[in-house]
Amino acid sequence: MNTLITIVGPTAIGKTALSIQLAQHFNSDIISCDSRQFYKEMSIGTAVPEPDELAAAQHHFIQNRSVFEDYNVGIFEKDVLVKLEELFQQNPIQIMVGGSGLYVDAVIKGFDYFPDVDPKIRENLTDELNSNGIGSLQRKLKELDSTTYQTIAIDNPHRVIRALEICIGTGLPYSSFINKEKKQRTFKTIKAGLKADREIIYDRINRRVDIMLENGLLEEAKALYPHKDLNALQTVGYRELFEYFDGNWELDFAISEIKKNTRRFAKRQLTWFKRDESTLWFDFKEDISTIIQKIELLLPA
């Protein structure tokens, strides 16, 4: 049976390195499932794999879109399923890696169905965001759907507005549409997660942000600043620097906010991925031979 080995875990934990080692062992390709690495204009701030890493295994869905294109998890699900059908014809074992839990679940389990709602609702919510800030929308979401409030990237205006427009447009919580019956997949999934003590994760995040800045994150964000309202740019690492360019924050404070918000993001990632009790969890320093051995025990005979 075709098998998709999926590597998950918090940001900066070492998922890319592990996925490449597994791809080389199984002679397979890698599907990237990072919702920020799709965009070719964003490379430094999204920690796109280095050229030597991209050359070490065939990657898909990395910098294949522009921030000026509309792209979402529903389209991604369809794109990946088409690509996997093609790849499984070459090799019954393929690798997927990424920290975007919603996108991982869309591929593995299927995307949740949401009814169409009046576009005017989104317009009104966007106006409220621009007038009152995201805090107003966050409070509204907490009141209408506390479950979603606790699980989504609450600092991401696009995600908050999406949840709210469903709540308002249907009269039902956004979370009530999650995890309904979905189409069965034609492949088996083995999910492996990387973990570390919180202090180690936070230290790796802080060092990664420093390296990004040394590599030109400030200049990359400056080039994107004229387009700061695009959905693709409503993400940690860029949003904080836009505040600096707006003159609202000092640079040192913006950098500290990037680190703080990335740490909060990592915490949400772990909360999301730990919901799946079938995930094999490994220490981030675990020997690759041990990981491969345990994964191979779960492969179809």
Summarised one tens digit per residue, pLDDT across range 106-115 is: 899 887 778 8
Is 169 labelled a binding residue?
A: no
Q: Say what angle helices 73-88 and 101-109 make with each other, to 10 degrees.
A: 50
Polymer length of the chain: 301
Is 12 labelled a binding residue?
A: yes
Instruction: Name residues of the chain where pLDDT drops below 70.
Output: 179-182
pLDDT of 198 reads: 95
Report the predicted TM-score, pTM, of the whole model to 2 decimal places.
0.81
Is 15 labelled a binding residue?
A: yes
SS3 241: helix
How far apart, in whole angstroms, are the C-alpha atoms of residue 202 and residue 196?
A: 10
Q: What is the 3-state secondary structure (H, E, C) of 246-297?
A: CCCCCHHHHHHHHHHHHHHHHHHHHHHHCCCCCCEEEECCCCHHHHHHHHHC
List domains and CATH numbers for the chain.
3-111+182-296 (3.40.50.300), 119-177 (1.10.20.140)
pLDDT of 72 reads: 85
Is 110 labelled a binding residue?
A: no
Is 16 labelled a binding residue?
A: yes
